[in-house]
Amino acid sequence: MTPTTTRAADGVRPPGGTTPGKATPGTRPAPAAGRRQGRRETLAGYLFLTPWCVGILLLTLGPMLVSLYLAFTDYNLFDSPKWIGFKNFQDLFADDRWWTSVQVTLKYVLIGTPLKLAVALAVALLLVKPRKGQGFYRSAFYAPSLIGASVSIGVVWRAIFNDDAVVDKSMSLFGWDVGGWIGDPDWALPTLITLTVWQFGAPMVIFLAGLKQVPGELYEAAEMDGAGRWRRFRSITLPMISPVLFFNLLLELIHSFQVFTSAVVIAGSGTNTGGPGDSLLVYGWYLYEQGFRNLRMGYAAAMAWMLMLGIGLVTAVLFKTQRGWVHYEEDAR
Amino acid sequence: MSAASLTVGRRRVRSVIWHVGALAVLAVILYPVVWVIGGSFKPGDQIVGSLQLLPTDPITDNYRRLSDGIADVPISTFFTNSLLLAVGSVVGVLFSCSLAAYAFARIRFAGRNALFTLMISTLLLPFQVLIIPQYILFQKLHLINTYVPLLLGKYLAADAFFVFLMVQFMRGLPRELDEAARLDGCGHLRIYWNIVLPLCRPALITSAIFTFIWSWNDFIGPLLYLNEPDKYTVSLGLKLFIDQDSVADYGGMVAMSLVALLPVLLFFLAFQRYLVEGAATSGLKG
């Protein structure tokens, strides 16, 4: 193999090369060798990428095309798909339960995400100053993020928010009598939202990493100018961590739109699918129900694409607005 | 008292207040975990209604009942299945994602940037778009009720998060290492295996632990693809338990919940530093 520097692979060929095979550090191979090297690098690149390439074609791009096609068909898994044009989408807009699932999911996302991020940021601020046991607190607060998505925690949530269970009884002690959380259509969704907020540890550690980057001099200078705590938070901390906030927001939103396991487990088992009065009928579950229980694969594919459109729209809006509130270091210079 | 010792005293008081506050928040946060541990040792009728966190006389009945199994399947079967899937997933992710990451991070080839962008954009893709065609694909291949659908993606680097994590890490390694190795006549395979992989240990460990935990917690995958109880994972076994007994056996349900959580909790205790740092650097979700 021709020894060469990696830079030669770019096709950057300086004039007057040395004989290939005898190159020493600092010398570059002849033009022809460079081109050959480039091809060899490309071959090596694709060889290393073979599993990934197969994966993306077989499990991502291919399925995307198929689901796009299915969205315009009537398909039950057994008979061949029948092209029906936009009928699935028309049916969606006329489907009350679809609208319910959209509403439930939007409520979950729009209330849960800001709450979760606020708690994550508050705890991160609490933990940012170096203190004894900081590592312990960081880890302990992070733990729920790991187990929160499991069926087990869904079961636990169901049990502690049950009618007359721990949460209900504790609240009654304070004179706040809801009388059944999961059984009550008005309180089932807030129960699910508390479970999301409970998993604030993952965005918290990202906030912590961001907060550590804020230069201390800024606070000292502001303090000298007589800026109070709140002022310092608003004028220094928030702008300085806005890229991290943006990242967390994006990730949480995309993640929340796809909520499934916790909603299903809290909603209950068997045939009772959407919780009391469909108050826990999240989008992911309704899609599953239509596709895999009712075998309306085309309809579910149309639902999936509407979800993708929704997530794409939210992502696009976020990226559009970030100029207004996300401050990157380079802008300031 | 001097002014200096006064400020020291004030600082100490503040520190104590801080710790009391932090511990109070922590108590609320970890309440459900303690609740499930305590509940698993209580008789069924004292679990839901009682405000008491820990049992007055701990019993082990709930666990004894679990050992009879669920729907004629012993608990150990669910555990073996979950373990098999989790370990199989870890091997696959480490192998395929590190290969792809090496290509993206260390090889300059035509089309690299475009493919990298494609890889990153799959992070935004909701899984719901893919599950229906994937299900149809595996159904046509007669692979329903096998572990292939649950494992194949892991061997084909479908988890873009881990590829991204490893790329970021590999980019941080000094280029001089490769260049020196190339001068010694090493090809990419040798550089990948002998130089880059050993140096990537932290990224590999983080990916391995997260893969294990996610695979263990996975619910929708097994729910879609497995339909015989003796192939079920722990998550599905737990669901089966809830479906079967509805609210009748709270003790067993809580015990099973804890048993299902146990490996994740143990992993967490053993590797919490890696997990927290891995999450902070890559934005991994739990």
Asked if the model's pLDDT at residue A15 lies above 90, the reply is: no
Tens digits of residue pLDDT in B129-180:
999 999 999 999 999 999 999 999 999 999 999 999 999 999 999 988 888 8
Could you report the per-residue pLDDT of B18-58, keeping only the tens digit for each? 899 899 999 999 999 999 999 889 887 777 777 777 887 78
Q: Is the pLDDT reported for residue B121 higher than 70? A: yes
- Predicted pLDDT at A5: 37
> Considering CB atoms only, which of B95, B126, B135 is closest to A307?
B126
The ipTM is: 0.89
Mean pLDDT within B247-255: 79
Of A25, A48, A131, the CB nearest to B99: A48
pLDDT in tens, A202-227: 999 999 999 998 888 888 888 888 88
| Mean pLDDT confidence for A72-88 | 95
pLDDT of residue B284: 73
Query: What residues of B are in contact with residue A155 (Cβ under 8 Å)?
Result: 238, 242, 253-254, 257
What pLDDT does residue A270 have?
55
Give the per-residue SS3 of chain A.
CCCCCHHHHHCCCCCCCECCCCCCCCCCECHHHHHHHHHHHHHHHHHHHHHHHHHHHHHHHHHHHHHHHHCCEECCCCCCCEECCCHHHHHHHHCHHHHHHHHHHHHHHHHHHHHHHHHHHHHHHHHHCCCCCHHHHHHHHHHHHHHCCCHHHHHHHHHHCCCCCHHHHHHHHCCCCCCCCCCCHHHHHHHHHHHHHHCCHHHHHHHHHHHCCCCHHHHHHHHHCCCCHHHHHHHHHHHHHHHHHHHHHHHHHHHHHCCCHHHHHHHCCCCCCCCHHHCCCCHHHHHHHHHHHCCCHHHHHHHHHHHHHHHHHHHHHHHHHHHHHCCCHHHHC
A10 against B163, higher pLDDT? B163
pLDDT of A94 strictly over 80:
yes
Q: Lowest-confidence range among A6-10, A168-172, B34-38?
A: A6-10
- Shortest distance, CA B2 to any CA of chain A (angstroms): 25
pTM metric for this prediction: 0.88
Q: Give me the pLDDT at residue B273, please.
A: 85
> Nearest residue of A to residue B152 by CA position?
A55
Q: What is the mean pLDDT of residues B105-112?
A: 92
In chain B, whose CA is at the least distance from the CA of A298?
A: B132
Average pLDDT for B72-94: 94
Distance of residue B150 Cα from the nearest chain A Cα, in angstroms: 12
- pLDDT tens string A48-65: 999 999 999 999 999 999
Confidence grade of residue A31 (pLDDT, cut at 50, 70, 90):
low
Please name the member of A5, A137, A205 whose beta carbon is closest to the beta carbon of B280: A205
Residues 124-153 of B with CB under 8 A from A: 124-137, 139, 152-153
Of residues A84 and A329, more confidence is placed in A84
- State the residue for tokens 């373990």: B83
